[in-house]
Structure 1
Amino acid sequence: MSLNYFKYYLLLLNFIFLESIALANILNPKIKMTPYDDITVGAIWNDWQNYPNGRPLDLVPIANETSTDEFVLAFLQSIEGKCKAGWAGISAMSVDSGWGKFLTDKLTENNKKYSISLGGANGLNLAFTCEINELLDIYENIYLVYHPNGLDFDIEGSFQSDFKSIAKMLKVIKKFQINHSETKITFTLATMPEGLTAEGEWLIKAAKSEGIHFIVNIMAMDYGYSYNQNMADYAIQAANNLFSFLKIQYSNYSDYDIWQMIAITPMIGLNDVTTENFSLHDADKLKTFANQFNIGGLHMWSVKRDNPCSSSFVLPTCSSNNNQKKNYEYLMHFNN
């Protein structure tokens, strides 16, 4: 075999190898973690000359360290019970003032995507405090100020059973989606391992009736003190039961299409229900499941909690998981 022929042979083998990897990635895509970040936690206050009302922490270094490409930024809520949007419902952190643009601009400059989450467990939902036309103006203004890749509607607390406000919200979301069809819409809902709550099922049926295209993101957490076994197994059980429910609602969809409608969000480390602890092993197991079925999204609560500590209480700045040894270890498990 001549030297030139041998070189060509090696080049051909290398080409075939690289093409095989590329094809495998297409046929078996890896689900990337898109973590939530409560952007008011750990806000920077010592840059007061440029940001007198503070600014969020820059997430780009964390993204680069953990191979994270996208975030969900939380939470926009009603300011003082009015039809005005602010981060954590704080007047000084209003959408009108552009609070948080430091972060969204940084993410955009570094080719990172982000969704914005409205609602949450605490505070007032804007759909409760705004009339229908005002609510559309609020959503349009959020889009104009931040240009998010998606809007996430986190339905928790007493708002879950406010069917009148939710119906109003859904009508506005449909109008918004007509204007911004490229913007992903997600409903983040409480779940049990056995499936969605009755309120969650009602919302899904109502959203379908409005003709909204959406992803259902289940909060795989806080089931109750009797749920004290493997948290990954509970999350997988909840996802499978959601699949069965959606398959009935969308009987003409393929299995692939249904799984693409499903996202899962565990609360890493110690949960509010303290018999529940989502471990690093749970992260590995859930990631394997997500990749196996190519689900529509995998999230976690939250970036700021992805730090080790030995607390026996739930904290916003660490996981309360003694087995976590370094910062962002959950993100690294999910993404690597």
Structure 2
Amino acid sequence: MIFSAYKDTSINMNWNTNVISTMVSGTRTSLADDMAANGAKRITLAFATGECGSENWGGVPGAAMASANVSLLAAKNIDYILSTGGAAGSFTCGSDAGFLAFLGRWASPHLIGVDFDIEAGQSQQVIQSLVQRIAAAHAAYPGLRFSLTLATLANNNGAPTAQSLGSSAPSSFNVYGDWTMNAMRATFGQTWPSYVTVNLMTMDYGSPGPGVCVVSGGICDMGQSAIQAAYNLHDHWNIPWSNIELTPMIGGNDVQGEQFTLQDTDETTAFAIARGLAGVHYWSYDRDLDCPPGAASPICNSLGGVGAHGFLRRFLAAGLR
């Protein structure tokens, strides 16, 4: 099982050197140094946008970003996943040559995966093209894993805890998720490739209700909702547990009242281990720092009472590595 935080590379970046940095520990520190000091072994770097081969990271050209950071991550023995797209930008890839150029900038023994975060309104054709790139990339880099990160709901028909709905389980995806799953079937057939996972964004469900999340005390139970989303993916789309990943948003979510707590961390991790999921991640590295409940912040947890790197420590204590 893969465990990592997502790191928004544009937050606390050293713009003079292009070194990916963070301030979770109190002062601006290179991400590699901060991770090594706190027991983190893997990171998902977010987000590359634009067309593959001429992509950028928050305005930093792909080649410049890679050259400034690959050696630093390797020196601290940090494995990394490259995440593309995201909520604020789109990643497109019209050719295998462009995708291989993108991967080649970051190629090292510590590059372990590529993530397609599909949530910025890509067209069905763009999504199909992204999925088609996977086959050629796998041939060139057979050790890489590929993840499809998709927004999800967590319908459970009003039960107080997560449960399998069997053959009646809904898709839980929006149209972009459905397009992605259909593109996978069109490209790879009915046998799901072992090196491709579906990573569920278990966050920001909206107004609580049985059609969108597991409701407890009038609010979305974020741990149970993450588990329910995994059940629905497995049951509706017949995706093996070993090809499912979960990514909660730690602390306060964009929808106020939705809070992913340390207890939710324990519940989600226990389920992931028991079912043999492919991975657990969290959004995001820079948010793992206390600030009071309120509007979601990109640089603190909007929860409080957890401490710097508190969620990282809890995930590690719960058995993730």
Fold match (TM-score > 0.5): yes
Q: Output aligned runs, 1:158-307, within 5 Å.
A: 158-159=121-122, 162-194=123-155, 195-211=172-188, 213-226=195-208, 227=213, 228-247=219-238, 258-307=240-289
Give 1:323 deviation, angstroms: 2.5
Name structure 2 gaps, 5 residues minimum.
Answer: 22-29, 156-171, 214-218
* Corresponding residue for residue 26 of structure 1: none
Amino acid in structure 1 at the alignment position of 2:5: P
**Alignment check: 8 A CA contact 1:55 1:100 kept:** no
Q: TM-score, normalised on structure 1?
A: 0.77
Q: Is 1:318 aligned with 2:318? A: no
Match of 1:142 among 96, 102, 111: 102
State the distance in 1 between where 2:253 and 2:221 align: 13
Amino acid in structure 2 at the alignment position of 1:144: G
Amino acid in structure 1 at the alignment position of 2:220: Q
**Alignment check: 8 A CA contact 1:232 1:278 kept:** yes
Q: How many residues matched?
A: 276
Q: TM-score, normalised on structure 2?
A: 0.80
**Alignment check: 8 A CA contact 1:225 1:275 kept:** no
Please identify, of 295-304 and 272-281, the stretch whose mean Cα deviation from structure 2 is larger. Answer: 272-281
State the distance in 2 between where 1:139 and 1:246 align: 28
Match of 1:86 among 42, 45, 56: 56
* Corresponding residue for residue 18 of structure 1: none
* Corresponding residue for residue 68 of structure 1: 40
SS at match of 1:193: coil
* Corresponding residue for residue 19 of structure 1: none
Give 1:44 deviation, angstroms: 1.8
State the distance in 2 between where 1:158 and 1:204 align: 15
Amino acid in structure 2 at the alignment position of 1:138: G
Match of 1:43 among 10, 13, 20: 13
Q: 1:199 to 1:40 in 2, by over 3 A?
A: closer
State the distance in 1 between where 2:69 and 2:288 align: 19
Q: 1:125 to 1:143 in 2, by over 3 A?
A: closer
Amino acid in structure 2 at the alignment position of 1:39: T
Give 1:33 deviation, angstroms: 2.6
**Alignment check: 8 A CA contact 2:5 2:44 kept:** yes
Q: Is 1:109 aligned with 2:75? A: yes
Structure number, greater radius of gyration:
1
SS at match of 1:307: coil
* Corresponding residue for residue 313 of structure 2: 332
Give 1:311 deviation, angstroms: 5.2
Name structure 1 gaps, 5 residues minimum.
Answer: 1-30, 251-257
CA deviation vs aligned residue, 1:287-318 (integer Å, no higher than 9, x gap): 11111112100000000010001151211110
State the distance in 2 between where 1:237 and 1:110 align: 36
Give 1:125 deviation, angstroms: 2.4
Q: Percent identity, aligned pairs only?
A: 27
State the distance in 1 between where 2:133 and 2:114 align: 13
